[in-house]
Structure formats: C-alpha cells, structure tokens
Structure 1
Amino acid sequence: MTAAHTFTPAARAWHGVPADHPFGVHTLPYGSFRAEGLPGRRACAAVGDRVLDLTAATAALLPHRAALFASGTLDGLLGAGPAVWAEVRAALTAWLTDERHRPAVEPLLRPAGEVALTLPFTVADYVDFYSSEHHARNLGRLFRPDGDPLTPNWKHLPIGYHGRSGTVVVSGTPVARPTGQRRTADGVITLGPSERLDIEAEVGFVVGTPSTPGRPVPLADAGRHLFGVCLVNDWSARDIQAWEYVPLGPFLGKSFATSVSPWVVPLAALGHARVAPPPRDPRPLPYLDDTGAERWGLDIELTVTLNGHLIARPPFSAMYWTAAQQLAHLTAGGAHVRAGDLFASGTVSGPGAGECGSLIELTRGGAVPLELPGGETRTFLRDGDEVVIAATAPGPGGVRVGLGSVSGRIVPTGTPTGA
C-alpha cells in the first residue's frame, strides 16, 4: 500500500475544511462530475463539501500529468501506477495546504451540491466475491438447515463469480425491478418481476496497474495493483437467483444493476484502518496464506438505511478473505486484471443481529419482517424504497476517513433508468 501522508492540524490550511471532516485533506477521494457551463466530464477530488476540478488543476499546476485527467475520468490515473498515484496525491495535498496555491486553486473549487457526480471510471471487468463467513453461515442455515452451513470449499478459497460490468451504475441511478423466471411454492414456473428483491452491502476494490497475462499476482504485490476502494450495493433478486443459479451460478438475478459510490478512496488514505483479518482454520494453501504478511483487513464501518431508517451496521473488519487474497485467487488460473477492473467483497455481515448486510439475513428469509417507522414493515424491497449504504474508517489523529455513500431507489419493472 502507498504510504499515507502525515496529517497535522495545520493541514486544514486555507481551504477551511475542518480537520475532522470525513472528506478532509486526509482523505481526498477521487471522482468525476458534470456541471453547467463546463464542457464534458471533469475528474475531481472531494474537499470537504466542495469538489476540486482536477482536469483543470493538473493542466495548470501539474502540466506533465495533465493527460491523466484529460478524459474527465480516473481512467488515466488508474493505470499510471503507484509512483504516479503518490505524486498526484502529494501535489493535491500541497495545493490545498500551501497558501501560495490558493489563487490558482480556489476558483476551481465548486460546491458539491452544484455538480452531477458520474461513474468515476470505466469499469473493465466486474467480479463479485462471497467473503464474509458470517453472511455465508447465515445463508447456509437458511438454505441447508439440516447440513453444514458452509460448502466444503468455502474456507479453502475466495468464492466468486464474474458479473456484468455494463450494468454497474453510479450512486443515485434508479434501479428497475428485474424480471426473470421463478418457481412458486407449488412448483409452477412463471416469468415476472422479482418478488424478493434484496440488497447486498459491499466494499469494492478498484484495480489500477494491470497485471501480466498468465502470471498470478502474489499477495505481496497486491499494493502495486490495487488503487482504492468504493462502496457497492450488488442488488439481488433472491427468487430469480434461487431458481436459476444451479449449476452455473448467478445470472439474471444479479445482472440487472450493481450500484457504486461516486468516490474512489485511495488506499493511501486508509493506512490507519489496516487491521489483521480473522484467524483462518484450516490454514490456506501457500498462495493464499497471509500469515505474517502485510495486513489487508480494513476496519471499515458501514451503515445501511432503508427509507432513512437505520437497519444495519455491518463491520468490514470481520471479513474472512481479504482483497489481497481475492486478487491472488482471481489471477491464479491465468486471468489478468486491467486498469478499471472492479471486484467486490461480497455481502458484509458481522456476528451481531444488527450487523447483516442483506435483507434476507435481517428478516431470516422473510420470516421476521423489519419494523420501520410509521408502522410499516419490510421483508424485501418494494417499489419506491430507497437504500443508502455509507461508511467511514479510522484516520490519522483520531479523525474519520469518509467513503461517502451509495444510494439507489427501486422503480417499477420496465422503467427506463439510464443504466
């Protein structure tokens, strides 16, 4: 992981952002936006409640790196590699903390509420993992009540599947209720809108430096390839998925939409959030064995709200398999990663009753409805429901690093969403 910059109270400097703001100078997440009066998209960084136009700033203040953001996205930066990532972050920090840069930088700051945030990078491939032991056990108890809740392979490898990059959408994009085949309780096969539409609160990892085709990425090299993290809601149509997934895995039940946050937080901002992952038993095979290696657990605290009501606080620190192990396994068979590849952790769940990152767990498969304000209840999502997943992590000097949020509202089947 690229080393985090030293944070001091003086780092507030001229931009006026409080030292404890989640998007303070200790975070500086990257994104992309459109704004009235500006042509095309612009790459940006969040600075408190404002965004800095990086496309314009690098052209003026770091001209030899202007091409990194010329597209208005993070695509150029991602593939540039760790040395350039560190150079750009250092320059950005200096622009915001050195009074000498104020005349050039201040005109390029815009209130976040006046811009439209867009998908920050071009998603190349998308992979979704299944790396929470608590989530896997909860589902196993529901689906196999008389058997072992974990499948025989679960503790030997990070289980995952290749998803659909074309339906990864930015936070705020409406999510149309998907249609697919279902089998009713009396065995009738029907085609229709999902009746058990669910959420999956996840953390996503964005690949920067490509790997070499046919050459696995060892655990020790993960920091050379992984640029940053975002928040993910990998919506799931449980009834469609249950009927179709045997024997090849998820298809229509998962391919309709995956929502991501508009901000990518560089791993350099998460140095203080690094923790040891849970103990592994049995010990993984050597290519996955991180005993004594760099710690890739992350102490990220998520919150999930449904129509403004808090329903869960999933802890990412409890995840069994880490991003480094996921990357090592993903490439072990010969596949390589490219700049813009996105892989998600799988549903984040902890051991507590209020720490589950999906409705199917929170409601025990629909048997115990959630109670919402006003006397409403929910088992699965209804049209009009809005889900917001947010997160923070420990930062320097006791402050919190913000990961922002990812939101989505369910609209009726067939509604155009712009995905």
Structure 2
Amino acid sequence: MAKFTFNMPDIGEGIAEAEIVQWHKQVGDQISEDEEFVDMMTDKATVPMESPVNGKILEIAGGEGDMVSIGSMLVVIEVEGEVPEDVVEEAAPATDAAPASAPAPKDEAVERIEVENSDASDADDALAADPQPEPLPAPTPAPEPVRHAKVLATPAVRKRAKDLGVDLAQVKPAEDGRVRHGDLDQFLSYNAGYGAAAAPRADEEKKVIGMRRRIAENMAASKRNIPHFSYVEECDVTDLEVLRAQLNTNRGDKPKLTILPLLITAIYKTLPDFPMINARYDDEGGVVTRHGAVHLGMAAQTDAGLMVPVIRDAQAKNPWQLANEISRLAEAARSGTAKSEELQGGTLTVTSLGPLGGVATTPVINRPEVAIIGPNRIIERPMYVTGSDGAERIEKRKLMNISISCDHRVVDGWDAASFVQALKKLLETPALILVD
C-alpha cells in the first residue's frame, strides 16, 4: 500500500487560498480516478477537485468553510501498489504560488508518498494513537407508522413525522401533492392528541460558508462603506406591454421578449445624459471612473445564493440579443457554469424579483458600482388619464414602480431623480425605445 497526498493546486487565478464548500467524499470512502471529491471556492468561482488515483480516503484538510492554502494538503488517499510518477509530478504544488506567510516547503516540492506495510500492527498503532470512545447504547426506536400510500415529502419532513408518530398518508398535501412542514403543522393543529404532542421544529445551526459567506461579506462591505439613498417612481407601462405583445406576436425565430430586455434598452439609451450613474468608485484611490460602455450586471437567484453575471456592452445589443444573453447568463449562473470573467466588471446592476417584486424595493449597491436599479411588480390599477379631446376619464392601467439606490458620495439626489424621470419618459413612450 502507498499513501498519496493531493495538495491544493494553483488554479491560475492568482489566489493564495481557497475555501472548502462541500465534501463529496469523507474519510474511509472509496474514490475512483477522475471522481470529484470536494468543491473549492475562490473569490471568483467554485472549482471541483478530481482525484488522479483510485483508492481509499485516509485524511481530509478540514471541514466545510475552512480555508486551504495553495500547495498544502487537501486529501490523503491510500492506493494499492506504487503511485505512477506522472501522477506525482502532476499533483506537485506550485511553490511560487504559495503565500509569503505559508510555512517553508518540505524537502522536495512534491507531495509526500509513503510506502507502508499494511499489517495488523500498523492498525493497532493507529487505534492506540486515536482511541475511540465507547459507543452509546442506541435509543429505542419509535414504532414505524403504518403507511397506506406513497407520499411525496422531503427526508426532513419524513423524519419529523416519524418522530411525532404521524402517518404522512393522513396529512393533506399542497396542490403539487408534496407534504411540507406547513402541511404537517396544520394537521397537528387540527388533530390535537394525535400520536406525540405537536412540537416546534428543532433549532438548526448552519455554518455560513461558500457563496452565502461571499454574499454576506460583500453586502456588509457595501452597507458599511457606501452611504445609500433610494428613490422610487411610478411608471405607466400599459403601452410598453402592448408593444411587447405585438413584438412577440410577430417575432418569427427571435426569442420571446420579457419586459427586462426593453427596460435595459431604455436604461442604456438614458445613461449618456447621466454618466455619473454608469460609474465605479475606487474608495482607496478616491477616483470615480465614468464608463462609456454599459456592462450591465443582472442579479440572478441560484440555489447557492445571489449571483450577478454581467452583460458585456449592453449598449451594442438590441432587445432580442439582450433576451438571448439574459437567458444564457441566467442558466450559466443557476448551473454553476458561469465563467469568472462573466461574474465581474459590471458598471451598473439591475435586480428584479419578477412577479415577487413588491411595491417598492431599496436594493443594496453592488460595490464598487455606484447605482443599482430595481424594477418592481407590474400591477393593474384604475387611474385618471387625459384623452385626445382633453377630457379626463378613469382607465385600468398597468403600473410599475422603478427603484434606484445610489452612492451619495458620487450621485446626488437630483441626478438620481432626473435619471429616473428620463427613464420613465422612455418607458411610457415605448416607440422611442426602438428608435436608433
């Protein structure tokens, strides 16, 4: 048997360390060549690590959320026979990528390979060095409830129902047929005395790691360093929605338009008169860069958290090209395949919750940008309108609030309000959006 030490490689992003996001294998697990065993996160992307050998995992570098320096041990794998020389060279750490504060390298800049006898004495020594506590007696399991039919529910809901002695087949599910914690709570509230007494869900501690930690750090830095102010204006988008429906009816092989590509088009047509909005502020250097090109960040919700892929040169794209790019980047963000260059370099961000957009929002600026725009939900309301004859009447109109948050060190309230008013004019006269 041989021990193969896989060191954290330099993945070419100029980083000194990476964060352990998720282990796919644990100590004692078998692993195959090219099988992913851990996800590591840098400042820019999440990178899966693959094993170059077959074997059994003996040691791992730490838990989820821990940081691992470039060139230090990530995992130790027990392999049969000798480790091929090409694997040794491939897995060798890049010494010039290690941080200055890292400990001195070992005798050679390659991972340690130790050939050991796998006899019983070695196993005895290992046990002696790391004594295991006596196992506690297993608790008496609760009787398994009788199940009358296949019930759709998550493992957490099933475990809770089992602990409470509740037969999930008797719980009315949601419309999609899946029983959730809320359905179980409702069942217990109407069936007092059924099985065990209804109890609140146990508290859960969850370590903040990976993307969630990056979001927490970035948002805290933004609110700590940037004096935010927000401005909200109501826009009548009735005619814009009519135009959008007409464009989709006659689109041919073009992508279907949502309101977002039309909004982005209106934004980049408005920005030339308000260069202070499309800018980035260097806190340390005290320099504001007003950008000519519009590299528009698009906030996208993913299972891992909020990501902001960037539409490069949005001002050079028509609404249908924007629709394609929005779809492509959103899918890349959700699937975790977005490239690092697609997640940085934005000059202005748009964040939209779609139908969940609410009446108004006060979005947090994506530092070092100086502004972020938030379209809210479109709702229908009666309002006074003036006809061509000058008479006022009440009509049902489609209204949408536009929110903007700005960095008050760079953008004055008058500038932000004037920008939104100019944007409102385009949205309420949508034919101007398509005029070059």
TM-score, normalisation: structure 2 = 0.23
Which structure exhibits the higher relative contact order, with contacts defined as CA atoms closer than 8 Å and separated by 6 or more residues?
A: 1
Q: From the CA coordinates, give the structure whose radius of gyration is larger.
A: 2
